[in-house]
Structure 1
Protein backbone atom coordinates (compact mmCIF):
# COMPACT_ATOMS: atom_id res chain seq x y z
CA UNK A 1 0.00 0.00 0.00
CA UNK A 2 1.00 3.58 -0.63
CA UNK A 3 0.38 6.68 1.47
CA UNK A 4 -0.30 9.77 -0.62
CA UNK A 5 1.51 12.95 0.41
CA UNK A 6 -0.16 15.35 -2.00
CA UNK A 7 0.96 17.79 -4.69
CA UNK A 8 4.55 19.00 -4.54
CA UNK A 9 4.88 21.31 -7.51
CA UNK A 10 2.81 23.02 -10.18
CA UNK A 11 4.20 25.83 -12.38
CA UNK A 12 2.92 29.25 -11.37
CA UNK A 13 3.11 30.53 -14.96
CA UNK A 14 5.77 33.16 -14.26
CA UNK A 15 8.45 31.60 -16.48
CA UNK A 16 7.96 32.05 -20.25
CA UNK A 17 9.00 28.47 -21.07
CA UNK A 18 6.94 27.03 -18.18
CA UNK A 19 3.42 28.46 -18.20
CA UNK A 20 1.67 25.13 -17.49
CA UNK A 21 2.25 21.44 -16.75
CA UNK A 22 4.79 19.45 -14.77
CA UNK A 23 4.40 16.22 -16.72
CA UNK A 24 6.12 12.78 -16.57
CA UNK A 25 8.14 13.45 -13.39
CA UNK A 26 11.43 11.60 -12.91
CA UNK A 27 13.14 11.57 -9.49
CA UNK A 28 16.92 11.93 -9.70
CA UNK A 29 18.81 11.64 -6.36
CA UNK A 30 21.52 14.21 -5.65
CA UNK A 31 23.99 14.33 -2.75
CA UNK A 32 21.85 16.39 -0.38
CA UNK A 33 18.51 16.76 -2.17
CA UNK A 34 16.17 15.10 -4.63
CA UNK A 35 15.92 16.59 -8.09
CA UNK A 36 12.74 15.96 -10.08
CA UNK A 37 12.80 16.49 -13.82
CA UNK A 38 9.58 17.00 -15.76
CA UNK A 39 8.12 18.29 -19.02
CA UNK A 40 6.58 21.75 -19.02
CA UNK A 41 4.81 23.88 -21.65
CA UNK A 42 5.01 27.44 -22.88
CA UNK A 43 2.07 29.57 -24.06
CA UNK A 44 2.18 27.86 -27.48
CA UNK A 45 2.10 24.40 -25.86
CA UNK A 46 5.70 23.68 -26.89
CA UNK A 47 7.24 21.45 -24.24
CA UNK A 48 10.74 21.39 -22.76
CA UNK A 49 12.60 19.68 -19.93
CA UNK A 50 12.94 21.42 -16.55
CA UNK A 51 13.46 20.48 -12.91
CA UNK A 52 12.93 21.42 -9.29
CA UNK A 53 14.93 20.31 -6.27
CA UNK A 54 13.33 19.02 -3.08
CA UNK A 55 14.49 19.02 0.53
CA UNK A 56 15.69 15.48 1.31
CA UNK A 57 14.27 15.69 4.83
CA UNK A 58 10.93 17.15 3.70
CA UNK A 59 10.04 16.37 0.10
CA UNK A 60 7.11 18.77 0.17
CA UNK A 61 9.63 21.62 0.52
CA UNK A 62 10.78 22.88 -2.89
CA UNK A 63 14.28 24.30 -2.42
CA UNK A 64 14.96 25.39 -5.98
CA UNK A 65 13.08 25.91 -9.25
CA UNK A 66 15.32 25.92 -12.32
CA UNK A 67 14.56 29.08 -14.28
CA UNK A 68 15.53 27.92 -17.76
CA UNK A 69 14.90 24.81 -19.87
CA UNK A 70 17.39 21.95 -19.79
CA UNK A 71 16.39 20.82 -23.28
CA UNK A 72 14.10 22.76 -25.61
CA UNK A 73 12.39 21.97 -28.90
CA UNK A 74 14.46 21.10 -31.94
CA UNK A 75 14.98 22.86 -35.25
CA UNK A 76 12.30 23.20 -37.90
CA UNK A 77 11.58 19.89 -39.58
CA UNK A 78 13.18 17.75 -36.87
CA UNK A 79 11.30 15.02 -35.03
CA UNK A 80 11.24 17.20 -31.89
CA UNK A 81 10.48 20.56 -33.52
CA UNK A 82 7.36 21.06 -31.34
CA UNK A 83 8.84 19.99 -28.03
CA UNK A 84 10.81 17.60 -25.84
CA UNK A 85 9.53 15.54 -22.91
CA UNK A 86 12.14 13.95 -20.62
CA UNK A 87 11.48 10.28 -19.95
CA UNK A 88 14.50 8.50 -18.45
CA UNK A 89 17.87 9.55 -16.97
CA UNK A 90 20.99 7.41 -16.46
CA UNK A 91 24.37 8.28 -14.96
CA UNK A 92 27.20 7.17 -17.25
CA UNK A 93 30.53 8.14 -15.70
CA UNK A 94 30.67 11.94 -15.57
CA UNK A 95 27.73 12.23 -17.96
CA UNK A 96 23.96 12.01 -17.55
CA UNK A 97 22.11 10.42 -20.44
CA UNK A 98 18.57 11.58 -21.08
CA UNK A 99 16.23 9.48 -23.19
CA UNK A 100 13.40 11.75 -24.21
CA UNK A 101 10.26 11.92 -26.29
CA UNK A 102 10.30 14.43 -29.13
CA UNK A 103 7.10 15.47 -30.81
CA UNK A 104 5.90 17.26 -33.90
CA UNK A 105 2.48 18.13 -35.23
CA UNK A 106 0.37 15.96 -37.51
CA UNK A 107 -2.49 17.29 -39.60
CA UNK A 108 -4.58 14.14 -39.18
CA UNK A 109 -3.45 12.60 -35.88
CA UNK A 110 -2.60 15.79 -33.91
CA UNK A 111 0.96 14.70 -33.18
CA UNK A 112 3.78 12.26 -33.91
CA UNK A 113 6.41 11.13 -31.42
CA UNK A 114 9.94 9.71 -31.52
CA UNK A 115 12.66 8.80 -29.03
CA UNK A 116 15.85 10.85 -28.80
CA UNK A 117 19.02 10.97 -26.70
CA UNK A 118 20.63 14.02 -25.10
CA UNK A 119 23.68 14.14 -22.83
CA UNK A 120 24.63 16.45 -19.97
CA UNK A 121 28.21 17.18 -18.95
CA UNK A 122 27.41 19.84 -16.36
CA UNK A 123 25.60 17.76 -13.77
CA UNK A 124 22.21 17.80 -15.44
CA UNK A 125 21.71 21.56 -15.77
CA UNK A 126 21.74 21.45 -19.56
CA UNK A 127 21.55 18.66 -22.12
CA UNK A 128 22.93 18.55 -25.65
CA UNK A 129 21.43 16.31 -28.30
CA UNK A 130 23.62 13.33 -29.18
CA UNK A 131 21.99 13.39 -32.60
CA UNK A 132 19.48 15.68 -34.27
CA UNK A 133 17.48 12.66 -35.37
CA UNK A 134 15.68 10.07 -33.24
CA UNK A 135 17.16 6.83 -31.96
CA UNK A 136 13.80 5.15 -32.51
CA UNK A 137 10.94 6.25 -34.74
CA UNK A 138 7.94 4.52 -36.25
CA UNK A 139 8.81 1.30 -38.06
CA UNK A 140 7.39 -1.98 -39.34
CA UNK A 141 6.84 -2.89 -35.68
CA UNK A 142 5.64 0.53 -34.49
CA UNK A 143 3.22 1.80 -37.08
CA UNK A 144 2.38 5.33 -35.86
CA UNK A 145 4.92 6.50 -33.26
CA UNK A 146 7.16 5.53 -30.31
CA UNK A 147 7.54 7.36 -26.98
CA UNK A 148 8.32 7.46 -23.26
CA UNK A 149 11.18 4.96 -22.97
CA UNK A 150 12.41 3.36 -19.76
CA UNK A 151 16.06 2.27 -20.06
CA UNK A 152 18.17 0.03 -17.81
CA UNK A 153 21.89 -0.59 -18.40
CA UNK A 154 22.71 -3.99 -16.89
CA UNK A 155 26.34 -5.02 -16.34
CA UNK A 156 27.07 -8.56 -17.55
CA UNK A 157 29.56 -11.13 -16.13
CA UNK A 158 31.81 -10.75 -19.20
CA UNK A 159 32.19 -7.01 -18.59
CA UNK A 160 29.75 -5.93 -21.29
CA UNK A 161 26.57 -3.93 -20.77
CA UNK A 162 23.11 -5.10 -21.78
CA UNK A 163 20.92 -2.11 -22.52
CA UNK A 164 17.19 -2.77 -22.18
CA UNK A 165 14.33 -0.48 -23.18
CA UNK A 166 10.60 -0.65 -22.58
CA UNK A 167 8.75 1.92 -24.66
CA UNK A 168 5.31 2.95 -25.89
CA UNK A 169 4.34 1.82 -29.38
CA UNK A 170 1.36 3.40 -31.08
CA UNK A 171 -0.18 0.91 -33.50
CA UNK A 172 -3.25 2.75 -34.79
CA UNK A 173 -5.41 5.87 -34.64
CA UNK A 174 -9.19 5.73 -34.41
CA UNK A 175 -11.56 8.66 -34.81
CA UNK A 176 -13.74 8.72 -31.68
CA UNK A 177 -16.21 11.56 -31.12
CA UNK A 178 -14.58 13.36 -34.07
CA UNK A 179 -11.16 13.23 -32.38
CA UNK A 180 -8.14 11.13 -33.46
CA UNK A 181 -7.37 8.83 -30.52
CA UNK A 182 -4.09 6.86 -30.38
CA UNK A 183 -3.88 3.23 -29.27
CA UNK A 184 -0.52 2.22 -27.79
CA UNK A 185 1.02 -0.67 -25.86
CA UNK A 186 4.43 -1.40 -24.30
CA UNK A 187 7.11 -3.03 -26.45
CA UNK A 188 10.76 -4.00 -25.88
CA UNK A 189 14.10 -3.16 -27.51
CA UNK A 190 17.70 -4.08 -26.71
CA UNK A 191 21.12 -2.54 -27.41
CA UNK A 192 24.83 -3.09 -26.90
CA UNK A 193 25.69 0.60 -26.61
CA UNK A 194 22.48 2.45 -25.64
CA UNK A 195 22.36 4.10 -29.07
CA UNK A 196 21.70 1.44 -31.71
CA UNK A 197 18.58 -0.47 -30.74
CA UNK A 198 17.25 -3.80 -31.97
CA UNK A 199 13.52 -4.47 -31.86
CA UNK A 200 11.30 -7.21 -33.20
CA UNK A 201 7.85 -6.12 -32.08
CA UNK A 202 7.89 -8.02 -28.79
CA UNK A 203 4.93 -6.84 -26.69
CA UNK A 204 5.33 -6.63 -22.90
CA UNK A 205 2.01 -5.07 -21.85
CA UNK A 206 -0.79 -5.32 -24.39
CA UNK A 207 -4.33 -4.13 -24.94
CA UNK A 208 -7.27 -5.87 -23.27
CA UNK A 209 -11.02 -5.35 -23.07
CA UNK A 210 -10.55 -2.07 -21.20
CA UNK A 211 -6.98 -1.01 -21.96
CA UNK A 212 -6.54 0.98 -25.17
CA UNK A 213 -3.45 2.94 -24.12
CA UNK A 214 -0.64 2.55 -21.58
CA UNK A 215 1.31 5.48 -20.21
CA UNK A 216 5.03 5.69 -19.37
CA UNK A 217 6.43 2.30 -18.27
CA UNK A 218 8.81 2.55 -15.29
CA UNK A 219 10.80 -0.61 -14.49
CA UNK A 220 12.82 -1.38 -11.37
CA UNK A 221 14.68 -4.51 -10.21
CA UNK A 222 13.61 -5.72 -6.78
CA UNK A 223 13.40 -9.08 -4.95
CA UNK A 224 14.79 -10.90 -7.98
CA UNK A 225 12.03 -9.58 -10.23
CA UNK A 226 11.47 -6.88 -12.78
CA UNK A 227 8.60 -4.69 -11.61
CA UNK A 228 6.84 -2.31 -13.96
CA UNK A 229 4.64 0.62 -12.97
CA UNK A 230 2.52 2.27 -15.66
CA UNK A 231 -0.82 3.99 -16.23
CA UNK A 232 -3.60 2.76 -18.49
CA UNK A 233 -6.91 3.99 -19.87
CA UNK A 234 -9.73 3.40 -22.31
CA UNK A 235 -9.98 5.40 -25.55
CA UNK A 236 -13.49 6.78 -25.00
CA UNK A 237 -14.12 9.96 -22.99
CA UNK A 238 -10.97 9.46 -20.91
CA UNK A 239 -10.36 13.20 -20.62
CA UNK A 240 -13.60 13.81 -18.72
CA UNK A 241 -14.87 10.46 -17.40
CA UNK A 242 -12.96 9.00 -14.43
CA UNK A 243 -14.30 5.52 -15.15
CA UNK A 244 -12.49 5.57 -18.51
CA UNK A 245 -9.45 7.64 -17.61
CA UNK A 246 -5.89 6.94 -16.50
CA UNK A 247 -5.25 4.87 -13.38
CA UNK A 248 -1.99 3.20 -12.27
CA UNK A 249 -1.12 -0.41 -13.04
CA UNK A 250 1.56 -2.89 -12.05
CA UNK A 251 3.19 -5.97 -13.61
CA UNK A 252 5.98 -8.41 -12.76
CA UNK A 253 8.49 -10.37 -14.82
CA UNK A 254 11.35 -12.77 -14.20
CA UNK A 255 13.19 -11.92 -17.40
CA UNK A 256 11.95 -8.45 -18.40
CA UNK A 257 10.32 -9.91 -21.51
CA UNK A 258 7.32 -11.89 -20.33
CA UNK A 259 5.11 -9.91 -17.98
CA UNK A 260 2.14 -10.73 -15.79
CA UNK A 261 -0.25 -7.88 -15.10
CA UNK A 262 -1.14 -7.57 -11.42
CA UNK A 263 -3.02 -4.28 -11.47
CA UNK A 264 -5.00 -5.26 -8.38
CA UNK A 265 -1.73 -5.20 -6.40
CA UNK A 266 -0.84 -1.59 -7.22
CA UNK A 267 -2.05 -0.46 -3.79
CA UNK A 268 -2.98 3.09 -4.80
CA UNK A 269 -5.98 4.62 -6.55
CA UNK A 270 -7.40 7.97 -7.58
CA UNK A 271 -8.80 10.19 -4.85
CA UNK A 272 -12.50 10.89 -4.44
CA UNK A 273 -11.84 14.58 -5.07
CA UNK A 274 -8.96 16.95 -5.65
CA UNK A 275 -5.95 17.08 -7.93
CA UNK A 276 -5.76 13.32 -8.72
CA UNK A 277 -9.46 12.39 -8.67
CA UNK A 278 -9.91 12.14 -12.44
CA UNK A 279 -6.49 10.78 -13.43
CA UNK A 280 -3.37 9.17 -12.03
CA UNK A 281 -0.64 8.76 -14.61
CA UNK A 282 3.06 8.77 -15.57
CA UNK A 283 4.42 7.27 -12.35
CA UNK A 284 8.12 6.94 -11.52
CA UNK A 285 9.24 4.81 -8.57
CA UNK A 286 12.58 5.36 -6.83
CA UNK A 287 14.28 4.20 -3.64
CA UNK A 288 15.53 7.18 -1.66
CA UNK A 289 16.54 7.62 2.00
CA UNK A 290 15.56 4.00 2.74
CA UNK A 291 12.05 4.59 1.41
CA UNK A 292 10.28 3.63 -1.81
CA UNK A 293 8.73 6.72 -3.37
CA UNK A 294 6.30 7.13 -6.23
CA UNK A 295 6.11 10.41 -8.15
CA UNK A 296 3.13 10.80 -10.45
CA UNK A 297 0.78 13.16 -12.26
CA UNK A 298 -2.90 13.70 -11.59
CA UNK A 299 -5.66 15.45 -13.50
CA UNK A 300 -4.97 17.04 -16.86
CA UNK A 301 -1.90 14.98 -17.84
CA UNK A 302 0.30 17.05 -15.54
CA UNK A 303 -1.63 20.32 -15.67
CA UNK A 304 -2.38 19.88 -11.96
CA UNK A 305 1.31 19.33 -11.20
CA UNK A 306 3.03 16.29 -9.72
CA UNK A 307 2.83 14.73 -6.29
CA UNK A 308 4.22 11.71 -4.50
CA UNK A 309 3.37 8.75 -2.31
CA UNK A 310 5.39 6.57 0.09
CA UNK A 311 5.21 2.77 0.03
CA UNK A 312 4.33 1.21 3.36
CA UNK A 313 6.23 -1.95 4.33
Structure 2
Protein backbone atom coordinates (compact mmCIF):
# COMPACT_ATOMS: atom_id res chain seq x y z
CA UNK A 1 0.00 0.00 0.00
CA UNK A 2 1.01 3.63 -0.34
CA UNK A 3 2.30 5.30 2.82
CA UNK A 4 1.72 9.04 2.82
CA UNK A 5 4.79 11.12 3.68
CA UNK A 6 3.33 14.62 3.65
CA UNK A 7 3.18 17.79 1.62
CA UNK A 8 6.27 18.69 -0.40
CA UNK A 9 5.39 22.14 -1.66
CA UNK A 10 2.74 24.84 -1.74
CA UNK A 11 3.39 28.32 -3.21
CA UNK A 12 3.79 31.01 -0.56
CA UNK A 13 2.40 33.74 -2.83
CA UNK A 14 5.65 35.72 -3.02
CA UNK A 15 6.17 35.35 -6.80
CA UNK A 16 3.78 37.06 -9.24
CA UNK A 17 3.60 34.07 -11.59
CA UNK A 18 2.99 31.67 -8.69
CA UNK A 19 0.50 33.18 -6.26
CA UNK A 20 -1.43 29.94 -5.79
CA UNK A 21 -1.67 26.28 -6.81
CA UNK A 22 0.95 23.61 -7.45
CA UNK A 23 -1.15 21.40 -9.69
CA UNK A 24 -0.47 18.21 -11.74
CA UNK A 25 3.06 17.52 -10.39
CA UNK A 26 5.40 15.58 -12.69
CA UNK A 27 8.62 13.85 -11.57
CA UNK A 28 11.51 14.50 -13.97
CA UNK A 29 14.63 12.59 -12.95
CA UNK A 30 18.07 14.17 -12.93
CA UNK A 31 21.21 12.31 -11.85
CA UNK A 32 21.60 13.94 -8.44
CA UNK A 33 18.17 15.40 -7.72
CA UNK A 34 14.51 15.15 -8.64
CA UNK A 35 12.93 18.00 -10.57
CA UNK A 36 9.18 18.37 -10.07
CA UNK A 37 7.35 20.37 -12.70
CA UNK A 38 3.88 21.64 -11.87
CA UNK A 39 1.24 24.13 -12.91
CA UNK A 40 0.90 27.35 -10.92
CA UNK A 41 -1.38 30.40 -11.17
CA UNK A 42 -0.98 34.17 -11.26
CA UNK A 43 -3.31 36.98 -10.14
CA UNK A 44 -5.55 36.36 -13.15
CA UNK A 45 -5.71 32.62 -12.23
CA UNK A 46 -3.88 31.82 -15.47
CA UNK A 47 -1.75 28.67 -15.31
CA UNK A 48 1.89 28.30 -16.37
CA UNK A 49 4.43 25.53 -15.74
CA UNK A 50 7.39 25.94 -13.41
CA UNK A 51 9.43 23.61 -11.16
CA UNK A 52 11.24 22.90 -7.92
CA UNK A 53 14.24 20.62 -7.31
CA UNK A 54 14.15 18.24 -4.35
CA UNK A 55 16.30 15.63 -2.66
CA UNK A 56 15.71 12.07 -3.88
CA UNK A 57 15.86 10.48 -0.42
CA UNK A 58 13.78 13.20 1.25
CA UNK A 59 11.55 14.95 -1.32
CA UNK A 60 10.35 17.38 1.36
CA UNK A 61 13.89 18.77 1.34
CA UNK A 62 13.61 21.49 -1.32
CA UNK A 63 16.91 22.33 -3.00
CA UNK A 64 15.73 25.03 -5.40
CA UNK A 65 12.54 26.91 -6.32
CA UNK A 66 12.47 28.27 -9.86
CA UNK A 67 11.49 31.94 -9.99
CA UNK A 68 9.75 32.12 -13.37
CA UNK A 69 7.59 30.06 -15.72
CA UNK A 70 9.33 27.68 -18.11
CA UNK A 71 6.72 28.28 -20.82
CA UNK A 72 4.82 31.46 -21.60
CA UNK A 73 1.22 31.74 -22.79
CA UNK A 74 0.24 31.90 -26.44
CA UNK A 75 -0.67 35.04 -28.32
CA UNK A 76 -4.13 36.50 -28.97
CA UNK A 77 -6.49 33.91 -30.40
CA UNK A 78 -4.11 30.98 -29.87
CA UNK A 79 -5.19 27.79 -28.11
CA UNK A 80 -3.04 28.52 -25.02
CA UNK A 81 -3.84 32.21 -24.68
CA UNK A 82 -5.22 31.96 -21.13
CA UNK A 83 -3.33 29.03 -19.64
CA UNK A 84 -0.62 26.39 -20.16
CA UNK A 85 -0.63 23.32 -17.90
CA UNK A 86 2.22 20.75 -18.09
CA UNK A 87 1.30 17.13 -18.71
CA UNK A 88 4.23 14.93 -19.80
CA UNK A 89 7.95 15.23 -20.59
CA UNK A 90 9.80 13.08 -23.14
CA UNK A 91 13.58 13.02 -23.58
CA UNK A 92 14.74 13.07 -27.21
CA UNK A 93 17.94 11.47 -28.60
CA UNK A 94 19.49 14.87 -29.44
CA UNK A 95 19.22 16.04 -25.83
CA UNK A 96 16.08 18.11 -26.30
CA UNK A 97 13.06 17.66 -24.03
CA UNK A 98 9.54 17.61 -25.41
CA UNK A 99 6.76 18.93 -23.21
CA UNK A 100 3.20 17.86 -23.90
CA UNK A 101 0.87 20.35 -22.27
CA UNK A 102 -2.71 21.56 -22.06
CA UNK A 103 -3.58 24.93 -23.53
CA UNK A 104 -6.49 26.80 -21.96
CA UNK A 105 -8.95 29.07 -23.74
CA UNK A 106 -11.63 30.69 -21.63
CA UNK A 107 -15.06 30.94 -23.22
CA UNK A 108 -18.00 33.11 -22.22
CA UNK A 109 -19.40 30.48 -19.84
CA UNK A 110 -16.81 27.69 -19.65
CA UNK A 111 -13.40 26.78 -21.06
CA UNK A 112 -11.83 24.92 -23.96
CA UNK A 113 -8.73 22.72 -23.72
CA UNK A 114 -6.30 21.75 -26.47
CA UNK A 115 -3.12 19.71 -26.52
CA UNK A 116 0.16 21.48 -27.24
CA UNK A 117 3.76 20.47 -27.78
CA UNK A 118 6.79 22.53 -26.72
CA UNK A 119 10.51 21.76 -26.71
CA UNK A 120 13.51 22.71 -24.61
CA UNK A 121 17.11 23.04 -25.80
CA UNK A 122 18.55 23.97 -22.38
CA UNK A 123 17.76 20.99 -20.19
CA UNK A 124 14.22 21.99 -19.28
CA UNK A 125 14.80 25.54 -18.01
CA UNK A 126 12.81 27.08 -20.87
CA UNK A 127 10.39 25.69 -23.44
CA UNK A 128 8.99 27.09 -26.68
CA UNK A 129 6.05 25.86 -28.72
CA UNK A 130 6.97 23.68 -31.69
CA UNK A 131 3.87 24.83 -33.54
CA UNK A 132 1.53 27.80 -33.29
CA UNK A 133 -1.45 25.41 -33.32
CA UNK A 134 -2.27 22.39 -31.13
CA UNK A 135 -1.34 18.80 -31.97
CA UNK A 136 -4.80 17.61 -30.85
CA UNK A 137 -8.01 19.56 -30.48
CA UNK A 138 -11.78 19.16 -30.55
CA UNK A 139 -12.83 16.81 -33.33
CA UNK A 140 -15.22 14.00 -34.12
CA UNK A 141 -13.44 11.84 -31.52
CA UNK A 142 -13.03 14.73 -29.03
CA UNK A 143 -16.33 16.64 -29.21
CA UNK A 144 -15.41 19.33 -26.64
CA UNK A 145 -11.66 19.16 -26.08
CA UNK A 146 -8.49 17.03 -25.66
CA UNK A 147 -5.98 17.47 -22.84
CA UNK A 148 -3.44 16.18 -20.27
CA UNK A 149 -1.70 13.40 -22.20
CA UNK A 150 0.55 10.70 -20.78
CA UNK A 151 3.08 9.59 -23.44
CA UNK A 152 5.32 6.53 -23.76
CA UNK A 153 7.46 5.18 -26.61
CA UNK A 154 7.25 1.40 -27.00
CA UNK A 155 10.19 -0.87 -27.76
CA UNK A 156 9.19 -1.01 -31.44
CA UNK A 157 9.23 2.79 -31.72
CA UNK A 158 5.46 3.28 -31.53
CA UNK A 159 4.41 6.34 -29.60
CA UNK A 160 1.44 5.81 -27.28
CA UNK A 161 -0.72 8.43 -25.64
CA UNK A 162 -3.49 8.33 -23.05
CA UNK A 163 -5.40 11.55 -22.51
CA UNK A 164 -8.69 13.06 -21.36
CA UNK A 165 -11.38 13.78 -23.92
CA UNK A 166 -14.31 16.12 -23.28
CA UNK A 167 -17.59 14.73 -24.60
CA UNK A 168 -20.42 16.92 -23.31
CA UNK A 169 -21.49 19.58 -20.84
CA UNK A 170 -24.58 19.55 -18.65
CA UNK A 171 -26.01 22.50 -16.76
CA UNK A 172 -25.74 21.72 -13.03
CA UNK A 173 -26.47 24.46 -10.48
CA UNK A 174 -26.47 26.96 -13.36
CA UNK A 175 -22.95 26.00 -14.49
CA UNK A 176 -21.99 23.94 -17.57
CA UNK A 177 -20.17 20.96 -16.03
CA UNK A 178 -17.99 19.00 -18.49
CA UNK A 179 -17.96 15.23 -18.81
CA UNK A 180 -14.62 13.78 -19.91
CA UNK A 181 -13.25 10.27 -20.19
CA UNK A 182 -9.83 8.75 -20.96
CA UNK A 183 -8.92 7.77 -24.52
CA UNK A 184 -5.78 6.57 -26.29
CA UNK A 185 -3.89 7.26 -29.51
CA UNK A 186 -0.78 6.05 -31.34
CA UNK A 187 1.78 7.85 -33.47
CA UNK A 188 4.93 7.30 -35.53
CA UNK A 189 6.49 10.66 -34.67
CA UNK A 190 4.86 11.96 -31.47
CA UNK A 191 3.17 14.76 -33.41
CA UNK A 192 0.52 13.22 -35.67
CA UNK A 193 -1.82 10.95 -33.73
CA UNK A 194 -4.32 8.21 -34.65
CA UNK A 195 -7.09 8.06 -32.03
CA UNK A 196 -8.46 4.68 -30.97
CA UNK A 197 -12.20 4.06 -31.10
CA UNK A 198 -11.94 2.02 -27.89
CA UNK A 199 -12.33 4.15 -24.72
CA UNK A 200 -9.53 3.79 -22.20
CA UNK A 201 -11.77 4.62 -19.21
CA UNK A 202 -15.42 5.06 -20.12
CA UNK A 203 -18.23 6.82 -18.29
CA UNK A 204 -20.31 5.01 -15.68
CA UNK A 205 -22.73 5.96 -12.89
CA UNK A 206 -19.99 7.73 -10.93
CA UNK A 207 -17.10 8.27 -13.34
CA UNK A 208 -18.16 11.49 -15.04
CA UNK A 209 -14.66 12.94 -15.33
CA UNK A 210 -11.13 11.50 -15.42
CA UNK A 211 -8.22 13.61 -14.24
CA UNK A 212 -4.66 13.22 -15.49
CA UNK A 213 -3.80 9.64 -16.51
CA UNK A 214 -0.27 8.64 -15.47
CA UNK A 215 0.90 5.54 -17.36
CA UNK A 216 4.03 3.41 -17.00
CA UNK A 217 5.00 -0.03 -18.27
CA UNK A 218 6.14 -2.76 -15.92
CA UNK A 219 6.76 -6.45 -16.66
CA UNK A 220 5.11 -6.07 -20.05
CA UNK A 221 1.92 -4.59 -18.55
CA UNK A 222 0.71 -1.01 -19.00
CA UNK A 223 -0.32 0.42 -15.64
CA UNK A 224 -2.17 3.64 -14.93
CA UNK A 225 -2.95 5.85 -11.97
CA UNK A 226 -5.72 8.36 -12.56
CA UNK A 227 -8.29 10.40 -10.67
CA UNK A 228 -12.03 10.37 -11.23
CA UNK A 229 -15.13 12.09 -9.88
CA UNK A 230 -18.84 12.74 -10.21
CA UNK A 231 -20.20 15.80 -12.00
CA UNK A 232 -22.42 17.10 -9.18
CA UNK A 233 -21.17 18.98 -6.11
CA UNK A 234 -17.63 17.61 -6.53
CA UNK A 235 -16.06 20.89 -5.39
CA UNK A 236 -17.77 20.83 -1.98
CA UNK A 237 -18.89 17.24 -1.28
CA UNK A 238 -16.01 14.84 -0.57
CA UNK A 239 -18.25 11.91 -1.48
CA UNK A 240 -18.51 13.27 -5.03
CA UNK A 241 -14.99 14.66 -5.41
CA UNK A 242 -11.83 13.33 -7.01
CA UNK A 243 -10.34 10.09 -5.72
CA UNK A 244 -7.52 7.98 -7.21
CA UNK A 245 -7.99 4.88 -9.33
CA UNK A 246 -5.77 2.24 -10.90
CA UNK A 247 -6.05 0.24 -14.15
CA UNK A 248 -4.01 -2.23 -16.20
CA UNK A 249 -3.74 -3.17 -19.86
CA UNK A 250 -1.89 -5.86 -21.81
CA UNK A 251 -1.94 -3.97 -25.11
CA UNK A 252 -2.31 -0.30 -24.11
CA UNK A 253 -5.73 -0.09 -25.75
CA UNK A 254 -8.05 -2.34 -23.75
CA UNK A 255 -7.96 -1.43 -20.06
CA UNK A 256 -9.32 -3.10 -16.94
CA UNK A 257 -10.06 -0.95 -13.93
CA UNK A 258 -8.63 -2.34 -10.69
CA UNK A 259 -9.44 0.49 -8.31
CA UNK A 260 -9.29 -1.87 -5.34
CA UNK A 261 -5.51 -2.07 -5.91
CA UNK A 262 -4.88 1.70 -5.89
CA UNK A 263 -3.60 1.55 -2.30
CA UNK A 264 -4.32 5.17 -1.33
CA UNK A 265 -7.43 7.12 -0.34
CA UNK A 266 -8.58 10.51 0.87
CA UNK A 267 -7.75 11.24 4.49
CA UNK A 268 -10.45 10.87 7.14
CA UNK A 269 -9.04 13.82 9.09
CA UNK A 270 -10.81 17.09 8.18
CA UNK A 271 -7.58 18.98 8.96
CA UNK A 272 -5.53 17.13 6.35
CA UNK A 273 -4.53 18.46 2.96
CA UNK A 274 -6.28 15.58 1.15
CA UNK A 275 -9.52 15.32 3.13
CA UNK A 276 -11.78 16.91 0.49
CA UNK A 277 -10.15 15.27 -2.53
CA UNK A 278 -7.08 13.42 -3.79
CA UNK A 279 -6.09 13.81 -7.43
CA UNK A 280 -3.59 14.20 -10.32
CA UNK A 281 -1.14 11.47 -9.30
CA UNK A 282 2.21 10.88 -10.99
CA UNK A 283 4.14 7.64 -10.49
CA UNK A 284 7.95 7.32 -10.54
CA UNK A 285 10.69 4.98 -9.27
CA UNK A 286 14.13 5.60 -7.81
CA UNK A 287 16.70 3.20 -6.36
CA UNK A 288 14.21 0.36 -6.24
CA UNK A 289 11.53 2.38 -4.46
CA UNK A 290 8.14 3.38 -5.86
CA UNK A 291 6.82 6.89 -5.33
CA UNK A 292 3.61 8.73 -6.02
CA UNK A 293 3.22 12.50 -6.30
CA UNK A 294 -0.33 13.76 -5.89
CA UNK A 295 -2.53 16.76 -5.23
CA UNK A 296 -5.14 17.19 -2.53
CA UNK A 297 -7.77 19.78 -1.69
CA UNK A 298 -8.68 22.55 -4.09
CA UNK A 299 -7.37 20.88 -7.26
CA UNK A 300 -3.80 21.79 -6.33
CA UNK A 301 -4.48 24.87 -4.21
CA UNK A 302 -3.24 22.94 -1.16
CA UNK A 303 0.02 22.00 -2.91
CA UNK A 304 1.31 18.51 -3.66
CA UNK A 305 2.49 15.62 -1.49
CA UNK A 306 4.19 12.28 -1.96
CA UNK A 307 3.75 8.68 -0.86
CA UNK A 308 6.06 5.65 -0.86
CA UNK A 309 4.95 2.10 -1.67
CA UNK A 310 5.44 -0.47 1.08
CA UNK A 311 4.50 -4.13 0.60
Instruction: Report the TM-score, using the length of structure 2 for normalisation.
Output: 0.98
Contact kept in structure 2, 1:119 and 1:129, CA below 8 Å: yes
Unaligned 5+ runs, structure 2: none
Deviations 1:61-95 (CA, angstroms, capped at 9, x unpaired): 01100001001211010000001000000111201
Whichever structure has more strand as a proportion of its residues is 1
Alignment of 1:199-218 (within 5 A): 199-218=195-214
Alignment of 1:66-215 (within 5 A): 66-93=66-93, 94-108=95-109, 110-156=110-156, 161-215=157-211
Query: Which residue of the other structure, out of 239, 243, 260, is the alignment partner of 1:264?
Result: 260
Shift of 1:201: 3.4
Paired position in structure 2 for 1:229: 225
Unaligned 5+ runs, structure 1: none
Query: Which residue of the other structure, out of 248, 255, 272, is the alignment partner of 1:252?
Result: 248
Distance (Å, rounded) in 2 between the aligned partners of 1:118 and 1:15: 24
Shift of 1:155: 2.9
Shift of 1:175: 0.5
- Once the two structures are overlaid, the 10-residue window that deviates more, 296-305 or 220-229, is 220-229
Paired position in structure 1 for 2:307: 309
2:290 counterpart of 1:292: yes
- Give the superposed CA RMSD: 0.8
Contact kept in structure 1, 2:196 and 2:253, CA below 8 Å: no
Contact kept in structure 2, 1:115 and 1:148, CA below 8 Å: yes
Distance (Å, rounded) in 2 between the aligned partners of 1:288 and 1:281: 22
Instruction: Report the TM-score, using the length of structure 1 for normalisation.
Output: 0.97
Distance (Å, rounded) in 1 between the aligned partners of 2:262 and 2:219: 16
Distance (Å, rounded) in 1 between the aligned partners of 2:30 and 2:54: 10
Distance (Å, rounded) in 2 between the aligned partners of 1:80 and 1:56: 33
Contact kept in structure 2, 1:47 and 1:72, CA below 8 Å: no
2:33 counterpart of 1:37: no
